[in-house]
Amino acid sequence: MKRLLSKISVFCIIFLILNMTIFPKECSEHASNAMNLCFKVIVPSIFPFLVCSDLFISLGFAKECSRYLSFFMRKIFNLPGSAALAFITGTISGYPVGAKCIVDLYETGQCTKTDAERMIAFCNNSGPLFVLGSVGGMLGNANFGILLYASHIISSVIVGVLFRFYKKKVESNLYLTSSNRDSTETINSIVSLISTSVQTMLNICAIIILFSIFTKFLPKIPKFDILNSFITGLFEISNGIFEFSKIANITTRAKLSLISFILSFSGISVLIQVSSLISKVKISIYPYVIGKLMQGIISFFITYIFYTIINSFFSYFFEMSKQCLILSRPIQIIPKVFQIESLGLILIISLTFFSKNIKFRK
Q: Note the pLDDT tens digit of each residue in 245-254.
A: 888 888 889 9
- Angle, helices 61-68 vs 70-77, to 10°: value is 70
Give the Å distances, CA to CA, from 346 to 88, 115, 343, 351, 353. 11, 24, 5, 8, 11
Residue 224 belongs to what domain range? 33-361
pLDDT score for 49: 75
Question: Is 12 contained in some domain?
Answer: no
Measure the N-to-C terminal CA separation of the chain; round to a whole number of Å: 52
pLDDT score for 138: 83
Average pLDDT, stretch 187-213? 76
**Contact 136/325 with Cβ under 8 angstroms?**
yes
CB atoms within 10 A of CB 141: 18
Q: Note the pLDDT tens digit of each residue in 140-149.
A: 877 888 889 9
pLDDT score for 238: 83
What is the distance between the alpha carbons of residues 77 and 121, in angstroms, rounded to a whole number? Answer: 11
The SS3 call for residue 1 is: coil
**Contact 166/114 with Cβ under 8 angstroms?**
yes
Higher pLDDT, 65 or 69: 69
**Contact 208/30 with Cβ under 8 angstroms?**
no
Task: Please report which confidence band the pLDDT of residue 261 belongs to, taking 50, 70 and 90 as the band edges.
Answer: very high
Q: Note the pLDDT tens digit of each residue in 267-303.
A: 888 888 898 888 888 888 899 999 999 999 999 999 9
What is the distance between the alpha carbons of residues 273 and 286, in angstroms, rounded to a whole number? Answer: 14
**Contact 110/57 with Cβ under 8 angstroms?**
yes
The DSSP code sequence of 274-310 is HHHHHGGGT--SHHHHHHHHHHHHHHHHHHHHHHHHH
What is the distance between the alpha carbons of residues 82 and 194, in angstroms, rounded to a whole number? Answer: 22
Query: In the predicted model, what is the mean pLDDT of the chain?
Result: 77
Q: Note the pLDDT tens digit of each residue in 68-112.
A: 777 888 888 999 888 888 888 888 877 888 898 899 889 888 889
Element (H, E) at 21: helix 2-22
Task: Please report which confidence band the pLDDT of residue 183 belongs to, taking 50, 70 and 90 as the band edges.
Answer: very low
The DSSP code sequence of 149-174 is HHHHHHHHHHHHHHGGGTTTTS--S-
What is the distance between the alpha carbons of residues 327 and 329, in angstroms, rounded to a whole number? Answer: 5
Least confidently predicted of 28-37, 153-162, 350-359: 350-359
Task: Please report which confidence band the pLDDT of residue 323 belongs to, taking 50, 70 and 90 as the band edges.
Answer: very low
pLDDT score for 178: 42
Question: Is 237 contained in some domain?
Answer: yes
Question: Is 92 contained in some domain?
Answer: yes
Question: Is 194 contained in some domain?
Answer: yes
Task: Please report which confidence band the pLDDT of residue 122 belongs to, taking 50, 70 and 90 as the band edges.
Answer: very high
Q: Note the pLDDT tens digit of each residue in 215-239.
A: 888 888 877 888 888 988 898 888 8
**Contact 53/110 with Cβ under 8 angstroms?**
no
pLDDT score for 257: 93
Half-sphere exposure of residue 299: CA atoms within 13 angstroms, side-chain side:
32
Question: Is 25 contained in some domain?
Answer: no
Question: Is 212 contained in some domain?
Answer: yes
Give the Å distances, CA to CA, from 138 to 155, 227, 230, 320. 22, 19, 16, 18
- Angle, helices 97-107 vs 267-278, to 10°: value is 20
What is the distance between the alpha carbons of residues 295 and 167, in angstroms, rounded to a whole number? Answer: 19
**Contact 256/303 with Cβ under 8 angstroms?**
yes
Q: What pTM value is reported for the model?
A: 0.76
Higher pLDDT, 166 or 121: 121
Domain count, the chain: 1
pLDDT score for 117: 93
* Residues 6 or more apart whose Cβ sits within 8 Å of residue 126: 94, 95, 149, 152, 237, 263, 264, 266
pLDDT score for 39: 81
Question: Is 185 contained in some domain?
Answer: yes
pLDDT score for 264: 94
Task: Please report which confidence band the pLDDT of residue 328 belongs to, taking 50, 70 and 90 as the band edges.
Answer: very low
Q: Is the pLDDT of residue 174 over 60?
A: no
